[in-house]
Amino acid sequence: MTGNRPAVRPARPFFSSGPCAKRPGWTLQALNDACLGRSHRSKPGKAKLKDAIGRTRSVLGVPKDYRIGIVAGSDTGAVEMALWSLLGPKPIDVLAWESFGEDWVTDCAKQLKLKDTRIIKAAYGELPDLKQTDSARDIVFLWNGTTSGVRVPNGDWIADAREGLTICDATSAAFAMDLPWTKLDVVTFSWQKVLGGEGAHGMLILSPRAVARLESYNPPWPMPKTFRMTKDGKLVEGIFEGETINTPSMLALEDYLDTLKWAETIGGLRGLIARADRNLSVLANWVKRTSWVDFLARDPATRSNTSVCLKIADPWFTALAPDAQAAAASKIASLLEKEGVALDIGGYRAAPPGLRIWCGATVDSSDLESLTPWLDWAFAQVKNG
């Protein structure tokens, strides 16, 4: 390891885990056709909202009988809309192995105060024992833990014939991983994540069983207007046809449409997954040959192909006190930011000190190839003071 700067910089230094890199070739001109200064309930406005729902269905392969809605409050809004509307009639298993899972634990146990909530946890880098979940209960979980880089490997642990609902926050998984729709009753994600859209809206996808719950259960707590999906015990179908509950950003919508059209040009979901997998393999090859770094995700089967979280395994680093470790990891990230080679790659604040490098489809593998020598360079700089 030398003090010389590597020769090549990534062409696009955008490796943030959200908002994520824009798609290759994106410019503001992609938004030229936005329906601005018009009502979102106008004919062209509504057509665009409907188009976004249709393209989402086709790219993700969402079954015909699942509803897809555009909702307020990004992924958080979509998840909380589901939790507030559906939970209560059944006991709940909520899984947490990193920070966002902990948020949903807080919602279930502390905010909604659902007494029969069982919390199934694991430490950063690990996945909880999925077999502990009970299909008689509602199950709340993340497909991909964005802050630890640990994902569920598949849906085999979810019973086909289940009594409870499965509520899956898939914001850093959708468009990068296969989601087994028949195992999932609620799926949520945000525009700002894997396709590199703008922060604004969330997507809420409901199975027929989730809709049946909505129509048969009236929660005992007050329901904010932005969460209300039923009227007189019937689903408000318009929400799932582009009639949003409140006003969406038509500019963010145009951008989401642009991301979906790009996804279609690269082979849809298969193309998106292939790009994320290739990106992960660039980092995996580098990790294999680099002694100072390792994946935070212990089991290779659970390693994320989007939010790749890395820990620093060098004995110099592991001998440091926790505060000094955090400072050293953040120095690596800020050094690379200053050099303009990698933006926003510091690990999540609540995660063990390390780095987090986004590998979703909007990132080019050539940029990750260019990045790895810089990671070695920055580590050496910080280690050698």
> What whole-number distance in Å separates Cα of residue 139 and Cα of residue 186?
10
* Residue 255 found at the interface with ligand PLP (CB under 6 A): no
Question: Which secondary-structure segment (H or E) carries 96?
Answer: strand 92-96
**Beta carbon nearer to ligand PLP, 18 or 88:** 18
* Residue 248 found at the interface with ligand PLP (CB under 6 A): no
How many residues of this chain bind ligand PLP (CB under 6 A)? 12
Bridge partners, 307 (sequence order):
358
Near ligand PLP in 145-184, by CB under 6 A: 146, 169, 171-172
> What whole-number distance in Å separates Cα of residue 58 and Cα of residue 56?
6
Binding segment for ligand PLP (CB under 6 A), chosen from 23-31, 71-79, 132-140, 215-223, is 71-79
Near ligand PLP in 314-333, by CB under 6 A: none
* Nearest CA among 204, 197, 275, 234 for reference residue 34: 197
- Which pair of tokens denotes residue 240? 């799932």
Q: Which region holds residue 268: left if phi is over 0, alpha if psi is between -120 and 50, else beta? A: left
* Residue 259 found at the interface with ligand PLP (CB under 6 A): no
- Of 31, 40, 52, 76, which lies in the binding site for ligand PLP, with binding defined by CB under 6 A? 76
- Of 14, 21, 66, 74, which lies in the binding site for ligand PLP, with binding defined by CB under 6 A? 74
* Residue 117 found at the interface with ligand PLP (CB under 6 A): no
Near ligand PLP in 182-211, by CB under 6 A: 190, 192
Neighbours of 354 (CB within 10 A): 29
CB of 192 to ligand PLP, least distance (A): 5
**Beta carbon nearer to ligand PLP, 169 or 364:** 169
* Nearest CA among 191, 227, 266, 245 for reference residue 24: 266
> What whole-number distance in Å separates Cα of residue 55 and Cα of residue 59?
6
Residues that bind ligand PLP (CB under 6 A): 18, 74-76, 100, 142, 146, 169, 171-172, 190, 192
